[in-house]
Amino acid sequence: MLQWFRNVARLAHKEIFSLFGDATLMALIAFAFTFAVYSVAKGIKAEVSNASVAIVDADHSELSRQLRAAIQPPYFRPPVDVELRDIDAALDRGTYIFAIEIPPRFEADVLAGRAPSVQVLVDATAMTQAGLGTAYLQQIFVAETLAFLHARNAQAQLPAQAVVHVLFNPNTESYWFTSSMQIVVNITVLSIILVGAAVIREREHGTIEHLLVMPVRASEIAVAKILANGLVIFVVSLLSLVLVVNLWLRVPLEGSLGLFALSTALYLFSVTALGMWLATLAPAMPQFGLLAVPTYAVAYLLSGAATPVQSMPVAMQPFVKLLPTTQFVSLTQAILFRGAGLDIVWPQLAGVSAAGALFLLLALARFRSMLAQQG
């Protein structure tokens, strides 16, 4: 047994040097965990940002000017005055996302308790901006109207008022979420690619015959490839979380970094074993790409990183929760966003470990068959 570990260590050492000698893959890894994380975090926004607004103020009262002044950057651009007859054409051209119409005698009707309406027309083709921006404008108008009535000692006719306290991410910045999730995405895709490329590269270059004449077992070769490539991804993912997400993007890490490291190690064991299994099914690199890309795409779309599992079809949810990507996304969010401990995330850790054991058994069986055919 001791000799088995020694052989695995030597083969893993060889794999790491082989990976470091591949400048293209090393550049891909460096880019994926630095600038790719930063660009996705800052480039993809779920919140409203710099939305264009047109306004038709037919009242020209103190309240209407107060509503107009409350529409401010960074959520909205300063409102632009337009004529009522030009609104439809401007929305059709995409010049503005929101068009606000304040009716005549708006302030007088508010003070008289007549409950007048402010019309907001929206270009719904900008789906995220349109949906959230309408809610933002409603909150702004309600808050400003209540402040105006309070200043006039008038009674506001509202049955209740919601008070929201945000514990994590108090400014609701989307990059706090997307930056961490992008690391999860990069771990998944690069783990599959690196291990698969290592197996197929040896087969295409003919160096696998060198391994066959050595006194090593198929399990030692397979485990060495999994450990070597997984170790590289493990180190760079933790460095990315600390240096890029925490220090560069200034996203606080609420939970235990050690628990996240343990979770990442178990997940890497699972997904690298999956990558090796896919590589044993493909005779060449193009076929491996055709297997890896849809596998990664399905795993990502069903992981909960893009869409919550609860929003998926009910019949699909029990099967989705069995995927290791779904388990890893769930425990990552629990640890990094909510500060969860081992007592909370142990079921997800057990699920990831079970999936890893299954993929490893499949990969070893196929790898032995592949080596037997090579021999």
Least confident of 3-17, 46-60, 203-217, 299-313: 203-217
Residue at a domain's end among 151, 185, 218: 151
- Within this chain, do residues 140 and 190 fall inside the same structural domain, yes or no? no
Least confident of 49-58, 159-168, 344-353: 159-168
- Within this chain, do residues 37 and 140 fall inside the same structural domain, yes or no? no
Residue at a domain's end among 151, 183, 212: 151
Least confident of 81-85, 122-126, 127-131, 138-142: 127-131
- Establish if 159 belongs to a structural domain: no
- Establish if 165 belongs to a structural domain: no
- Within this chain, do residues 123 and 199 fall inside the same structural domain, yes or no? no
- Establish if 370 belongs to a structural domain: yes
pTM listed for this prediction? 0.78
- Within this chain, do residues 182 and 228 fall inside the same structural domain, yes or no? yes
Beta strands 80-81 and 98-102: pairing type? unpaired
In this prediction, residue 159 carries a pLDDT of 56
- Establish if 163 belongs to a structural domain: no
- Establish if 161 belongs to a structural domain: no
- Within this chain, do residues 186 and 325 fall inside the same structural domain, yes or no? yes
- Within this chain, do residues 211 and 357 fall inside the same structural domain, yes or no? yes
- Establish if 239 belongs to a structural domain: yes
- Establish if 166 belongs to a structural domain: no
Burial of 23 (0-12, 13-18, 19+ CB in 10 A): exposed
- Within this chain, do residues 60 and 85 fall inside the same structural domain, yes or no? yes
pLDDT band at 225 (very low <50, low <70, confident <90, very high): confident
Contacts of 287 (CB under 8 A, 6+ apart): none
- Number of domains the chain is built from: 2
Least confident of 113-122, 158-167, 280-289: 158-167
Q: Annotate 299-333 with b (16+ C-beta within 10 A) or e (fewer).
A: bbebbbbeeebeebeeeeeeebbebbbbbbbbbbb
Mean pLDDT computed over 77-94: 89
- Within this chain, do residues 225 and 243 fall inside the same structural domain, yes or no? yes
Burial of 14 (0-12, 13-18, 19+ CB in 10 A): middle
- Within this chain, do residues 92 and 128 fall inside the same structural domain, yes or no? yes
pLDDT (tens digit per residue) in 139-164: 888 888 888 877 665 555 555 566 66
Mean pLDDT computed over 20-28: 85
- Establish if 339 belongs to a structural domain: yes
Q: Could you give the percent of the chain with pLDDT greater than 70?
A: 91
In this prediction, residue 73 carries a pLDDT of 87
Residue at a domain's end among 151, 186, 214: 151
- Within this chain, do residues 29 and 58 fall inside the same structural domain, yes or no? no
CATH code for the domain in which residue 118 is found: 3.40.1710.10
- Within this chain, do residues 106 and 234 fall inside the same structural domain, yes or no? no
In this prediction, residue 346 carries a pLDDT of 92
In this prediction, residue 223 carries a pLDDT of 85
- Within this chain, do residues 112 and 39 fall inside the same structural domain, yes or no? no
Query: What does the block give as tokens for 95?
Result: 């010049």
Q: What is the mean pLDDT of the chain?
A: 85
Which residue range(s) make up the domain with 341?
A: 2-44+174-374
pLDDT band at 366 (very low <50, low <70, confident <90, very high): confident
